[in-house]
Every structure is written in structure tokens, then in C-alpha cells.
Amino acid sequence: MINVTRSSMPPFEEYCEEIKDIWESRWLTNNGAKHKELEKNLCEFLGVDNLTLFVNGHMALEMVIDGMGLSGEVITTPFTFASTTHAIVRNGLTPVFCDINDGDYTIDVNKIESLITEKTSAIIPVHVYGNICDYKKIESIAKKHNLKVIYDAAHAFGEEIDGVKVGNLGDASMFSFHATKVYNTIEGGCVCYKDESLKSTLNNLKNFGIKNAEEVEAVGGNAKMNEFAAAMGLCNLRHIDDEIAKRKAVYERYMSHLDGVSGIKLCKEKDNLKPNYAYFPVVFDGYKYNRDEVAKKLQENDILARKYFYPLTNTYDCYDFDVSKTPVAFDISNKVLTIPMYADLALSDVDRICDIILG
């Protein structure tokens, strides 16, 4: 069985060595030594001044929205994972869905301004598959209308655009460290942000609003990263450059087979982007097989691909939104398939996957 993704892990002995002192201290959670060290190391790697760790990326996004005190409406995209939309709604806000562009599937910046109303407080775009949004245009719009910008950067760990590390874009950026991501802490996530005063707010929110032993100043939750997850993060961070290099080799092998095939549309590298090769999305548009037929052919050969993102979040049963306002996103969601992409995927398996798609 070849899964669509596979978790990167350090050598077993390295992780065992990393967690040895946890047995000695018995400090398993609550801002322990591993947690503090990982925050410091990630700040350096991501090139940011302020960073707060969370139990997962979703809680990181949900709590930074809360911490920024947003209200009313938030402009976002439906071409994303459930977390993005849910984080907005669970904060009592109304998502206003902007369509995507058909080039890299990020939010269509030319359609944002028409959606801004007196109730709009923020824009939450998504760096899709590691494709970075048109951040310059978004920044211009946000400044003009006095809006906050929070990027869902779950797919963009370690990337740079125009020489800028992506964690520095907007007012804040959320990264996911889920097991399936380029970089993982088993489960985990973080928020990077420009306003240093957010640090105490976020630390309170993720720890029940507790300020100190005798004061509780906010209605918070429990979203702390534990020491074992932080230890995995410390180990995986040492290997991240090698992991991305392996992913690049897989990407290049796929491109050698599929680039230029009629009816197959691929996301290609951009000159101004240092990518992380998080996913390999393929859009089947006019190909001899449609997306669902390709997925079935792969599954019959024990290869699991993913219809990612399908369905759109604005079509979920738990919501009642007008999908007709995002036709490009709807079209791509019915044609896209992410095929297996991970560091340890054998190039011979890449060849076999492509043979099945092209056969």
C-alpha cells in the first residue's frame, strides 16, 4: 500500500535520546524545557520574532483569531481544509468566501475588495499546496481598508518568497505540524505574529486564561503542546533540509513523466519561491480519464490518492452558503487529485504511479 503521504520521523535512537531527560524531570507538559527550546529553534529557522506553540494548527488559528479580537465578517477561501472555515465560525464570525484563481488555486486577489463591507474585520487567505498568495496585493488591500491579515500557512513551512520567510507575511501566520506535514511534531502547530503583545494573550488563551496561580483573566481553553511532541519537533527540525531535498527529487521525477501531457495541469515552481514540495496536486481537465477514474485506477493498485480539496468548505452539510459565488474553486475541487508525495517515496514507485495514470 502506498499512502498519499507518510510521516517523516527521525532515527529511533535519536528520539529516545531526546526524551531521556523527560523521564528524569517528569515534566511532561506546561511549558517545559523541550517546549521552550523548540519555540526558540523555530523562531530562528522561520526567521520570525514572535512565535507561540499549540497542540495543533487548528487551535493555533482559532486562538489567534480570538486573540486579535476580530468581529463581524472575515474574507477567506473555501478551497481549503475544514479547519480554516471552522476556526472562523467557532469564533462567532461570518466567513465571506472569495473565489480562487485558476493558476495556483490561492485566493483571487482581484475579487477581494468587492466583498469588503463595513462588517469586515480581516482577511484569512490560504497558501494552498505551498503556493504562496499574492501577499503584496493582499497587504495593499488590508492597509487601504484597515483590515487584519492572518495567513493559513499550514502547507508552507520553511518556504520563502521574494527572499522573505513566509512567517513574516501579514499580521500573523499559522503553521500546522500535523503528522502528515512536511515538518511534524506528531500533532502540533504554531502562530507567528508581528505584535509582541499577542504573546501573553495567546499563552493565556491556550492555558484556560490563567495568568498566574491566583488570577484567571480570560475565558481560555487547553491547547498546550506537550513535551513529547516538542521533542519530536526538535529531532525533525534537525533533518528538515534533507527531508525537503528528498521531496524535491520526488517532485522532479513526477514532472519528468507528467509535465506537458495534454489534459493534465500541474503546479510548477516559481522563480521567486523557495518551495517545500508539500503536495503534488494534479488537475485532470480534458484528460482521457477524469479525476475520479484516475483515483479508482490508483486505488485498484493499492495506491491511495486524495481529492484535496473536495468538497469545498462552503458546501459542507453543517453550513448553508452559496457555492455559486465561487465557481472556479468548485470546478477545481471536482478535478484535482493529490497523488502520493513524501520524502521516503521510492522513485520507482513514482514511476509506477505515473505509468498507471498514463496507461
pLDDT in tens, 242-283: 999 999 999 999 999 999 999 999 999 999 999 999 999 999
For the chain, domains (ranges, CATH) are 12-234 (3.40.640.10), 240-358 (3.90.1150.10)
pLDDT for residue 91: 98
pLDDT in tens, 304-317: 999 999 999 999 99
Neighbours of 262 (CB within 10 A): 8
Tell me what the pLDDT averaged over the chain comes to. Answer: 97
Confidence of residue 288 (pLDDT cuts 50, 70, 90): very high
Share of the chain above pLDDT 90, in %: 99
* Residues β-bridged to residue 161: 164, 273
pLDDT in tens, 82-94: 999 999 999 999 9
pTM beyond 0.95, yes or no = yes
Which of 156, 345, 340, 180 is closest to 246 using CA atoms?
Answer: 345
**Mean pLDDT value across residues 6-25:** 97
d(CA 335, CA 327): 13
pLDDT for residue 64: 98
Cell of 115: 466583498
Crossing angle for the helix pair 347-358 and 291-299, to the nearest 10 degrees: 130
Cβ contact 154:175 at 8 Å: yes
pLDDT for residue 103: 96
pLDDT for residue 337: 98
DSSP 168: G
Cβ contact 206:59 at 8 Å: yes
pLDDT for residue 61: 98
Q: Which residues contact 276 (CB under 8 A, 6 or more apart)?
A: 130, 155, 156, 157, 158, 159, 182, 244, 247
**Mean pLDDT value across residues 16-21:** 98
Instruction: Produce one character per residue of 166-178: b if its CB has 16 or more CB atoms within 10 Å, e if not.
Output: bbbbbbbbbbbbb
Residue 321 vs residues 98, 127, 153: alpha-carbon distances, Å: 12, 22, 24
Which of 236, 137, 113 is closest to 177 using CA atoms?
Answer: 236
pLDDT for residue 353: 98
pLDDT for residue 93: 98
Confidence of residue 70 (pLDDT cuts 50, 70, 90): very high
**Mean pLDDT value across residues 135-161:** 98
Cβ contact 339:280 at 8 Å: yes
